[in-house]
Chain A
Amino acid sequence: MTAPALPRHRSAALAESLVLVGRSVRLSRRDVETLVMAIALPLLMMALFVYVFGGAIETGGAYLTYVVPGIVLLCVGFGAAATAPAVADDMGRGMVDRLRSMPVAAAALVTGHVVASVARNALATGVVVAAAIAMGFRPDAEPLEWAAALGLLLLYVLALSALAAGLGALASSVQSASALTFFMLFLPYLSSAFVPTGTMPAVLRAVAEHQPITPVIETVRGLLTGAPIGSAGWAAVLWCVGLLVVSSGFAAWAYRRRTRR
């Protein structure tokens, strides 16, 4: 065993990740179409649900107040899913080989994508919440509740982005990477995001109440609008942390698998 010749400082991986975060943010900024879609789609969905379906949905209060947390979750799910094609695109190009033949931490490239996803989602969420307030959404959250809601959303976005990054590394093309993440866009519909679960058939209700998105939505809704949270809070945190741990492991595994030839 040859002694490791170049002493790598402990902060090396962090510094390298930061450089690649900068790269991913730069690429995101230039991919105007994806960015516009990430903001326009949730806005359109919100208008659709509030003005078209909303009148007919009984939630025991203003529908706008009920649906905004769901729209935010849909928005970040959509934004996180964009990580998959971005990673798949990189895997299909020579840049990955360049980075792998350099003294750069293996995790830095994927970390760059995941952190850029968080930045994209922060922007999109900001726009969506601002639009909701313009439409009449009046959250009654205290600063601490805002912080808790944002923290939970951050965990959720990190977990979904890491999952999407792993799927992107596994996918054979940019197109299939997009297709693989469809469930991220679909899952919010099967939750309490847009309608209370009470009217769903029993089987569907069981799925909707026990899938990770429902507790996250209930918690965010409770923190922002004062609806009861109950046990959803702990369930949401546990789901997000668990998902983040599993997704990160999955992403690392997928990246290694893709690059081991």
Chain B
Amino acid sequence: MPKVTYIESSGTEHVVDAPVGQTVMEAAVKNAVPGIDADCGGACACATCHVYVDQAWAEKTGEASSMEMSMLDFANEVQDTSRLSCQIKITEELDGLVIRLPDSQH
């Protein structure tokens, strides 16, 4: 099963097993990784699952849809590799993915 590493803004790392077909958000929430609220449960409705994809993985995780980009416009401290983690589906190719978490979702 692919592994995803989440790095909190404090530097604390969490390595979790992420089933193919689930999203980067779900794997975090189900493993109690702090820093991703995801109040809407992955409906791309709330923008509380903002993450930074590690530069080395940015291409493999694909591009944000226009909906997602409009939501990211209003997230805090947006960077080039900002994404909503509910919109990144886990695939075999993402085994080893590194995700950095922002300070806050609000």
Chain A bound to chain B: no
Interface residues of chain A, those whose CB is within 8 Å of chain B, are none
Interface residues of chain B, those whose CB is within 8 Å of chain A, are none
